[in-house]
Structure 1
């Protein structure tokens, strides 16, 4: 009986544990639903506010423009009226002056006719003489109505038609932004961001990626990339720190950007690639990702190694040349198992590299295949993957690199320009990470690693 009770007790505990797990999962989903609801309601509120603000500003601007146009047209009417009335006023002054002279002459003539016989001759003589000087047959010319401006206002109904057509199509509402962030992949001291279009009808000409540090100490969004590509490697990021990323697009022939995508949080746990400071012959930048070969070493071809073995298979290591010096066959950019200062060259055993003349070396031996020469702006990439392991004493070997592996075969791809070489590289011992390095015989070379 006790055994049955024990079994029932065990089953009850398992059921309780399953119920707790089930409830926890449901709570997490409920939290996800709440976040989704908040996003829908929050974005809807923001969209309403944006629409009201935009159309209020548009109405104010349209009213201002129409008022300015009305004022300009009224000013034109005022100017035409003033210019047209001025000669009419001048003509009216002449007519009124002539009428005044005529009235005065009429009064004198009537007075002369009414005067006595003793004064009549003198009065009539004076009147006749004055009438001759007035030129009663000379009348001022009054313009005909057809020669006088008749001010009118004309309106083009096409403006209202155009406004109606444009207003019906002005603005749009979308349930999703036209682009979204598809993937965030951690890299050493960086994050690879990939995005894609979700609106097939949207013809994107350019994309714009922004990021900022999240959390209470977060900064403002800043531009990381603007261009045609749909991926970008954000460099110079602090490990184990959350960053918010968002992307938008600009349509063909448009100047305005689309709405931002929903922000995505990304972070990297990998330490950044850094050059080893304090190496004679090289100056390293403050972030230790840029190295400059100076002339402090008069001769030889010193090697600058990475500060730690931070390159891992499955990732891409890139060297970007931002300044060049005199090339030398001993120059090298590559990857090696160790970073010992005693190793004065990358063209040696347990290392793969490319020289500035394009020659590729595997374990110190030059390959027959050759890549383009390295020049200003060149980007050299190293990609590696594990293709084989050799176990000790035929023990079982997992996919992960372990202590029971005596040798490791890597498939290496080195790319430069539009060409690449692919070969297998056999390591004598299994390693978790690899060092990278550079070697230049002459000063002036500057290389960025990421």
Structure 2
């Protein structure tokens, strides 16, 4: 009987634990629904406010422009009216002056006719002389109506029609921005961001990626990338710090940017790639991601290694040549198992590398395939993935049964537009790999990320 009770108790405990897990999962989904509802309502409110603000600004601008245009046209009428009335006023003054002279002459002539015989001759003579001076046969010219301005306003409905057409299609509302962030992958001291279009009919001319630190002290968004690519490696990020990313696009033939995508948060747990400081012959930048081969080094081709085995299979290691010196066949860029001081080249066992002349070395042996020579601006990439194990003999070559087992990595070295792919055999499986560079002459500067 006790056995049945124990079984029931155990089942009860399992059911309680299952119910707790079930409730916890439901609570997480409920939280997700609340976040989704908050995003819909929040973005809807922001969209409404943006529309009200935008159209309010348009109304203010349109009202001001129409008012300015109306005042300009009214001023034109004022100028035409003033310029046209002025000669008419001058002509009127001349006519009124002549009429005054004629009235005085009429009064004087009537008075001369009424005077006595003794004064009549003198009065009539004086009247006749005065009449001759007035030039009673000369009349001022008055313009005909056809020659006088007749002010009018020419108006049509073309502007109203154009406004109606443009306003009708001005602005749009979408349930999703035209682009969204599809993937955020952590990298050493960086995050690889990939994005894509939601609306296939949207033709993007450029994309714009921004990011900022999360939290109250995160500051403002800053541009990380503007261009046509749909992925970007954001460098210089602190490990275990949340960063918020967003992306937008600019349509073909447009000047304005689209709405921002839904912001997404990501962080990297990997420390950034760093060069080892204190190696004679090299100067390392403050962030330790740039190394310069200086001229105070000893003779030979010393190797500068990374500060830690920070390269892991499945990732891409990038070298960028930002300054160049005289090339030498002993020069090399690559990855290796160990980082022993005093080495004079990466062209050694347990290492793969490329020389500045484009030669590729695997465990110290030169391959027949070559890559383009490395010069100023060259970008060199290393990709490695585990493809299995192999039996190795004492010469680190594939052996027969009974030989020691080793690891086989498939390595891809890229330089320019070409790649070399080969299998690299290692005696043991490393947790991580070192990277390094070696230059015989000064002037070479290498950025690693």
2:352 matched to 1:352? yes
Aligned 1:261-276 pairs, distance under 5 A = 261-276=261-276
Does the aligned pair in 2 maintain the 1:349–1:363 contact within 8 Å? yes
The equivalent residue for 2:70 is 70
The equivalent residue for 2:155 is 155
CA shift, 1:93, in A, is: 1.3
RMSD over aligned Cα atoms:
1.2
Does the aligned pair in 2 maintain the 1:186–1:269 contact within 8 Å? yes
The equivalent residue for 2:421 is 422
Paired with 2:434 and 2:74, the residues of 1 have a C-alpha distance of 80
Q: Secondary structure at the match of 2:177?
A: coil
Paired with 2:175 and 2:321, the residues of 1 have a C-alpha distance of 44
Paired with 1:284 and 1:57, the residues of 2 have a C-alpha distance of 53
Paired with 2:230 and 2:413, the residues of 1 have a C-alpha distance of 23
Aligned 1:239-388 pairs, distance under 5 A = 239-388=239-388
Does the aligned pair in 1 maintain the 2:204–2:250 contact within 8 Å? yes
The equivalent residue for 1:395 is none
CA shift, 1:216, in A, is: 2.5
Paired with 1:305 and 1:114, the residues of 2 have a C-alpha distance of 136
The equivalent residue for 2:397 is none
The equivalent residue for 1:409 is 408
How many residues align? The count is 438
Does the aligned pair in 1 maintain the 2:281–2:294 contact within 8 Å? yes
Does the aligned pair in 2 maintain the 1:319–1:380 contact within 8 Å? yes
Name whichever of 199-208 and 110-119 sits farther off: 110-119
Does the aligned pair in 2 maintain the 1:406–1:430 contact within 8 Å? no
Q: Secondary structure at the match of 1:103?
A: helix
CA shift, 1:298, in A, is: 4.6
The equivalent residue for 1:437 is 436
Paired with 1:96 and 1:330, the residues of 2 have a C-alpha distance of 112
Q: Secondary structure at the match of 2:420?
A: strand
Paired with 1:299 and 1:153, the residues of 2 have a C-alpha distance of 90
The equivalent residue for 2:122 is 122
CA shift, 1:283, in A, is: 1.1
Q: Secondary structure at the match of 1:443?
A: coil
Q: Secondary structure at the match of 1:185?
A: strand
- Map Cα deviations across residues 382-424 of structure 1 (whole Å, 9 max, x no partner): 00011112589xxxxxxxxxxxx95211101000011111111
Does the aligned pair in 2 maintain the 1:290–1:448 contact within 8 Å? yes
- Map Cα deviations across residues 40-82 of structure 1 (whole Å, 9 max, x no partner): 0100000010000000000000001111111111111111111
Does the aligned pair in 1 maintain the 2:390–2:425 contact within 8 Å? no
Does the aligned pair in 1 maintain the 2:302–2:343 contact within 8 Å? no
Name whichever of 436-445 and 225-234 sits farther off: 436-445
Q: Secondary structure at the match of 1:415?
A: strand
Normalising to structure 1: TM-score of the pair? Answer: 0.96
Q: Secondary structure at the match of 2:410?
A: strand
CA shift, 1:320, in A, is: 0.5
Normalising to structure 2: TM-score of the pair? Answer: 0.96
Paired with 1:78 and 1:11, the residues of 2 have a C-alpha distance of 99
CA shift, 1:230, in A, is: 0.2
The equivalent residue for 1:103 is 103
Does the aligned pair in 1 maintain the 2:284–2:291 contact within 8 Å? yes
Does the aligned pair in 2 maintain the 1:244–1:266 contact within 8 Å? yes
Paired with 2:340 and 2:116, the residues of 1 have a C-alpha distance of 147
Q: Secondary structure at the match of 1:328?
A: coil
Paired with 2:315 and 2:143, the residues of 1 have a C-alpha distance of 93
Q: Secondary structure at the match of 2:146?
A: helix
Paired with 2:348 and 2:55, the residues of 1 have a C-alpha distance of 70
Q: Secondary structure at the match of 2:55?
A: helix
Name whichever of 111-120 and 51-60 sits farther off: 111-120
| Ranges in structure 2 where 5+ consecutive residues have no aligned partner | 393-403
Alpha-carbon distance change, 298 to 341 in structure 1, aligned in 2, over 3 angstroms? closer
Paired with 1:89 and 1:282, the residues of 2 have a C-alpha distance of 94
Q: Secondary structure at the match of 1:150?
A: coil
